[in-house]
Structure 1
């Protein structure tokens, strides 16, 4: 998110996180400070790819970030250093059928959450799902977000995935008009689907 009017509309909705991408190669790159009020119920989240500690720390201060998502090949040590700055730390991993869960073990104490996305040579934003059955073999207690190709067509299926460790759905490219510009009508429809699934599951 980077367009002021679009952000202003989005934060009126019952969402938990709003993401800003600080990766220069991304078409959603945010190049300046976003000076807009965000409700305390929504965590302002910065997404970084292989950035150094100093850059991330300064951006946390400039952008008043409450959460950081690391989407590159960041080390366990860097994750711990960023977490120690007092922000929520989310570490993203690209998953495919060959992904080995033991790659996560070293990160368990250094992150608050994992985010599982579709594996790609690029960093995120593929608009494609991975085989969610893979998650049935996830062996750790660490909670995670699901990302990658979520859409109005598969959102109910994702929400019904029977795993209490799945704590959030990352809505991105399938809910955009263009890169960095969310379709608020689609977001509204997505939230209604989620609300319906919550009521149905009670």
Structure 2
């Protein structure tokens, strides 16, 4: 079964409309002020809340828990992606509100896979991205062979530099736990603005495989 597709880092209404014509499974909105794709005041919460047919995901980095809950309610998020040092208790409390929790981890050769153990009951999915001080959005991929160290049964999103050039390779990982591919910075004309034509071409490659 092919992975699902998440297109992340959206912040422009017209561009979002174009992305939705491609029928991704997930779309992501970044609420991390240090990110070049920070939503800020670019989007009306009520407009986002009305978007249908896709799982809307709010992306946060060590954000105040009440603020996250407030954004979930305002924007109609069905999922939250947590990219910071959020502990398992924080994740579990959000999960109890009914929102899907995706806990992200930056992967490099020094990554200790044992740290995932405490999150097994606190998150529905993991997301594996390239380790960076930016908490994602680098356009750089990590060595996917490092996934051999992952022993949990929990399904995961794969992020970090997925592009037109390597999407076939991502599909060839052949891991039944690979739940979704996270497409972001390699598909932009500017931070937060997706190249619809490039996405279309890439998803054609994806569908043809």
- Per the normalisation by structure 2, the TM-score is 0.91
Alignment partner, residue 30 of structure 2: 21
Residues 74-103 of structure 1 show CA distances to partners (whole Å, capped at 9, x for unaligned) of 011110011111111100000011111101
User: Structure 2 unaligned runs (5+)?
Assistant: 1-9
Tell me the TM-score normalised to structure 1 length. 0.94
2:172 is matched with 160
- Which residue number corresponds to residue 101 of structure 2? 89
8 Å contact from structure 1 (residues 11, 39) kept in 2: no
Give 4+ residue runs of structure 1 displaced > 6 Å after superposition: none
Instruction: Name the counterpart of 2:188.
Output: 176
Partner Cα separation in structure 1 for residue 148 and residue 34 of structure 2: 33
CA distance in 2, matches of 1:122, 1:167: 24
Cα distance in 1, alignment partners of residues 83 and 157 from structure 2: 13
Aligned residue number for residue 21 of structure 2:
12
Root-mean-square deviation (CA, aligned residues, Å) is 1.0
| Greater RCO (Cα-Cα under 8 Å, separation 6 or more) | 2
Name the residue aligned to 1:39. Answer: 52
* Deviation string, structure 1 residues 25-84 (Cα, Å, up to 9, x no partner): 1111112334144222x1010000000110000000111101100000001111001111
Name the count of aligned residue pairs. Answer: 196
Number of the residue aligned with 1:147: 159
Partner of 2:7: none
